[in-house]
Amino acid sequence: MNYENILIATENNIATITINRPTKLNALNGMTISDLHKAIKTLGKNNEIRVIILTGSGEKAFVAGADIAEFANFSIEEGMQLAAEGQAKLFDYIENLKTPVIAAINGFALGGGLELAMACHFRVASDNAKMGLPEVSLGLIPGYGGTQRLPQLVGKGRAMEMIMTAGMITAEDAYRAGLVNHVVPQAELLEFCTGIAQRIMKNSPYAIGKAIKSVNANFKEGKNGYETEIKAFGKCFGTEDFKEGTTSFLEKRKATFKGK
């Protein structure tokens, strides 16, 4: 499948998606969101792909925000539709994907770009990265889940300050706040993320999918995370991965898990 604004490379069961709009600092427009949805849906169904790494082209930006020119003249109804469709098609979709998605933040991650990174299962930043939600400086608020995911990651007080000041924080500040898991030199970013992906791939794909679902349940209205965990835990007992994992442990050998 050909995509207009993204590039996909696959190697050793890892897919790397690169948002490729360098002249626009990889800003998210409707076509890019659609491309990302299609690509992630396809990769998520591919049993050979065990981890997805998401990054931006060039050395300046992961995603520098949404493409403001696309919605500058929107009505109230069109604005609500923009947020609802984007959340359903991409941001919530990534968050609930059974395949782990790592955000490799290689530069500016602002507005929709930071929201995209926060929808991923965790984040690694290059040391030159800067992050923020500047929407209130445009007379808007974050509309792709930023008001919900940022407090989950950094706490209510820090999130309020970041959103209300519309300011940017450095990669080191993001690390101290718990927004990113690691900060590495830009030249080492993808290699570092690949290393984490390889560690993830040693484990049961089925169990990882259930772990993602169970962790997410804690943050969803009307969901009991403990009940979700109990059901998911029980289902693991009926899988080939469980048999292989326990047998290999007892036989003192490395487990060999099948695809998703």
Q: What tokens appear for 73 in the block?
A: 């003249």
Closest CA to 114 of 74, 81, 156, 143: 143
Asked, for residue 258, whether it belongs to a domain, the answer is no
Asked, for residue 255, whether it belongs to a domain, the answer is no
Asked, for residue 177, whether it belongs to a domain, the answer is yes
Q: Are residues 55 and 183 in the same domain?
A: yes
Write the pLDDT tens digit of every residue in 102-138.
999 999 999 999 999 999 999 999 999 999 999 999 9
Q: How many domains in the chain?
A: 2
Own/partner long-range contacts of 209-218 (Cβ < 8 Å, ≥24 apart): 209/98, 209/99, 209/260, 210/235, 210/236, 212/96, 212/97, 212/98, 212/100, 212/121, 213/96, 213/98, 216/95, 216/96
Closest CA to 104 of 66, 57, 65: 57
Q: What is the pTM of this model?
A: 0.96
Q: What is the mean pLDDT of the chain?
A: 97
Q: Is 172 a catalytic residue?
A: no
Q: Is 77 a catalytic residue?
A: no
Q: Are residues 98 and 131 in the same domain?
A: yes
Q: What whole-number percentage of the chain has pLDDT above 90?
A: 97
Closest CA to 142 of 175, 114, 172, 176: 114
Q: Which of 59, 77, 78, 115 is catalytic?
A: 115
Q: Which of 70, 135, 240, 251 is catalytic?
A: 135
Q: Which domain holds residue 240?
A: 205-250
